[in-house]
Amino acid sequence: MLNPRLLSVVRKEFIQIVRDPRTLALTFAMPIIQLFLLGFAATSDVRQVPLAVWDQDRSAASRSLVDAYRAADYFQVAYEADNEAQVRRLVDRGDARAGLVIPPDYGRRLLDGQTATVAFVIDGSDPTVAGTALAAATLIGQAKGAQLSLERLARRGAAVAGMARPPLEVRTRVWFNPDLVSAYYMVPALIGLILQFLTVILTATAIVRERERGTIEQLIVTPIRSWELVVGKLTPYVVIGFMDTVLILFAGMLIFGVPVNGSIPLLLVLSGLFLVTTLGLGLFISTIASTQQEAMITALFFNLPAIFLSGFFFPLAAMPTILQWLSYLIPLRWFLIIVRGIVLKGVGMEALWPQVAALAVFAVLIMGGAALRFHKRLD
Amino acid sequence: MAEMAIVADGLVKRFGDFTAVDDVSFSVARGEVVGYLGANGSGKTTTMRLLMGLLRPTAGSATVLGLDVACDAERIRPRVGYMSQKFALYEDLTVRENLAFYGGLYGLPLAELPGRVVTLAERVGLAGREDLLAGELSGGWRQRLALGIAMVHRPELLLLDEPTSGVDPAARRAFWNLIYEVAEEGATVLVSTHYMDEAEHCGRLGIMRSGRLLAWGAPAELKRQTVQGEIWELTADPLLTALAALQATPEVIEADLQGDRLRVQTKGGAGGEALLRTVLDAAGCTVTSLTPGEVTLEDVFLALAR
């Protein structure tokens, strides 16, 4: 037999959501907008960095070096400069993000068997771009250097079999995301981000709204049980959470071609577990905030650190130890590992059980704590 | 005690240093319509909330329908209808949806709900407006809907907290007729108000001021007990000179201007009419009319406040 009290609350909550264009927009437009923003814009793939080249040598050798940079996808030779001031100006204005300066004696020194030096300058104002460009520039330079030494050896007649080949070759193979596409990494994590952001705010404000408008008083005097009120109010947001999860997942597959390697049902079940923690947080906030505005600000206060410490934007491995420890307290951190694991690596419970266990502990603690704080009284 | 709907015994509620309800005791028999009169902030709402178990008393106790409010609130609530001061309507829900929602919360079977909603809408005079959003209703209609919500589960007792505040006089009168109809069907009603004229409608009456219950009884009884002396209504020329002269007279308890006339309360046995004429003649005023006036609840309130 269905519980009429619970059913009434769920029905009422759905009607209110559907009639409120703001909530609806937040619920369905926000995930799509975020998906596009993060999928396209927030990519850390560094490609086609504009490069200014000042080639003072203009020999066959120097052209060959410039070609090596041009051939790599990382750089685009955008400007041919004639003096140092011009290189500086291009970088200052941001037209070029890097500069390659080849000295006049480059070709001659190579021919003489000496060491030739080239200068590579990088605009370090954006550390992400600079880091990748620096690594790429160094690698290209080293490869070119190795090639030049081999040529030099060959010229000296030391062409013993095998000597003309590099002694060590590291063959790298990237698993799970062979092309290192950022979208593959970002889109699944977006599920966690949206659930965290949306459900905490929506549940907190939905409950506080009752208090703000005085309807909570009328609810309390009915025979409804606390759990019925809480479950009834949260149910629609669980449904919204699942709809958004599926929406992002499919939009990610269709628009960004994100491969879903793991089990979608498992992902949904574990999303449900994560939802318990965010809804619990929303419920908890609703017990301390008395106006919707307060609830929004409090939700932000919890959401922002959670997102920054979750490893969504910045890799956890790069954080100071204390922040890494703090991040263990963030359910989103665990969920991101789960969602990326399932979508990218195609792993299941056998690999994810520690994260699932951590989430389960948080779910019990947060929901339990919030439920204890929520009573049917005004004082 | 089963015939008593409410018994309050020394109820006290403090919020920090502020005492909202101070040693309030009264009882309401079943079937009574009782008014709870007082200014804003006099402790009416707090009393109602204590009776509903929404707040815990700092001291004292109360029973509602024979059950203790401190420990049996959950058993009291299904039998009591409560209308809070801010009409607790969902403005984005229609009249029908609001009624059905609360009906569901009181556990009415789903099959019964639509019928109950129709009956209630008719009962409170909202038939034909079932599909309007509550936010689109004017004050008087909102108040009726709120009453409908409070009655959705056929309660034995109704606690109405300032149901008529902010509503025009015609709607207020219509609402009181509704209250009496409900009472005739057997419900006990406790209504708080700050309108003196409404308090006159009640069988019995409590008067609150600064958290204290100053008086409790039938309106006529309260008038007899608290207001001493006589009430006179008079016109004189010049009116303001007459007012000043009366206010300076020791035998006059109260004198004030009411429209184009003066209302005067004199001490009992002070000679009444003759005294007033003497005072006014001495002040050089011409008395154009002088008639005995009715004692009102306002006089009671002022007498208690003094």
State which of B220, B247, B266 marks the end of a domain.
B220
In this complex, the residue of B54, B55, B88 whose CB is nearest that of residue A215 is B88
Looking at the structure of chain B, the number of domains it has is: 2
The domains found in chain A, sorted by start residue, are 12-42+181-373 (no CATH), 49-155 (3.40.1710.10)
Does residue B24 sit in the same domain as residue B164?
yes
For B70-87, write each residue's pLDDT tens digit.
Answer: 889 889 999 999 998 877
What was the ipTM of the complex prediction? 0.81
Which of B174, B204, B220 is at the close of a domain? B220
CB contact under 8 A, B74 and A378: no
Q: Are residues B153 and B244 in the same domain?
A: no
* Residue of B49, B90, B112, B161 to mutate, testing the A interface (most A Cβ within 10 Å of its Cβ): B90
Q: Write out chain A residues lying below 8 Å of B49, CB-based.
A: 217, 378
The one-letter code for the residue type at B9 is D
Q: Which of B49, B84, B107 sits opposite A218 (nearest CB)?
A: B84
- CATH number, domain with residue B84: 3.40.50.300
Same domain, B35 and B155: yes
According to the model, what pLDDT value does residue A148 have?
85
Give the pLDDT score at A115. Answer: 86
Instruction: Say if the Cβ atoms of A378 and B80 lie within 8 Å.
Output: no
Scan for tokens 């480059």, then name that residue.
Answer: A106
Which residues on A lie below 8 Å from B143 (Cβ)? Answer: none
pLDDT for the residue B50: 93
- The answer to whether residues B120 and B177 touch, using CB atoms and an 8 Å cutoff, is no
Of A152, A169, A128, the closest CA to residue A42 belongs to A128
pLDDT tens digit sequence for A139-156: 888 888 888 888 888 777
> Chain A contact for B116, CB < 8 A?
no
B22, B131: one domain:
yes
Q: Do B179 and B195 belong together in one domain?
A: yes
Residues 6+ apart with CB under 8 A from A14: A236
Give B92-117 pLDDT, tens digit per residue. Answer: 999 999 999 999 999 888 888 899 99
Higher pLDDT, A169 or A249: A249
The C-alpha torsion from A280 through A285 and A290 to A296, rounded to 10°, is -110
Sheet-wide strand order for B59-64? B18-29, B4-15, B59-64, B67-68
Do residue B83 and residue B160 come from a single domain? yes
Q: Looking at B202, B220, B238, which one is the last position of a domain? A: B220
Helices (H), B136-271: 139-150, 169-184, 196-199, 219-226, 239-247
The partner residue sitting opposite B104, judged by closest CB among A4, A214, A220, is A4
Do the Cβ atoms of B89 and A20 come within 8 Å?
A: no
Residue A157, classified by CB atoms within 10 Å of its CB into exposed (0-12), middle (13-18) or buried (19+), is exposed
Q: How many residues does chain A have?
A: 379
B190 and B89 assigned to the same domain: yes
B306 touches chain A (CB under 8 A): no
Same domain, B166 and B301: no
Q: What is the pLDDT of residues B31-90, one digit of tens each?
A: 899 999 988 888 999 999 999 988 999 999 999 999 999 889 889 999 999 998 877 789
Which residue out of A8, A17, A375 would a mutagenesis test of the B interface target, given it has the greatest number of B Cβ atoms within 10 Å? A8
Assigned token pair, A334: 């665990």
Contacts of residue A214, Cβ cutoff 8 Å, sequence gap at least 6: B84, B85, B86, B88
What pLDDT sits at residue A319?
84
B104–A11 C-beta distance less than 8 A: yes
The residue written with tokens 């009249």 in the block is B95
Q: Say if residue B48 is in the same domain as residue B194.
A: yes
- Same domain for B141 and B202, yes or no, is yes
Q: Look up residue A47 and give its two tokens.
A: 């490609």
Which among A4, A15, A224 is the nearest to B97, CB-wise?
Answer: A15
| Full residue range of the structural domain in which residue B32 is found | 4-220
pLDDT tier for residue B1 given thresholds of 50, 70 and 90: very low
Cα distance between residue B243 and residue B235, in whole Å = 10
Of the candidates B55, B78, B100, the beta carbon closest to that of A379 is on: B55
Residues B148 and B282 grouped into a single domain: no
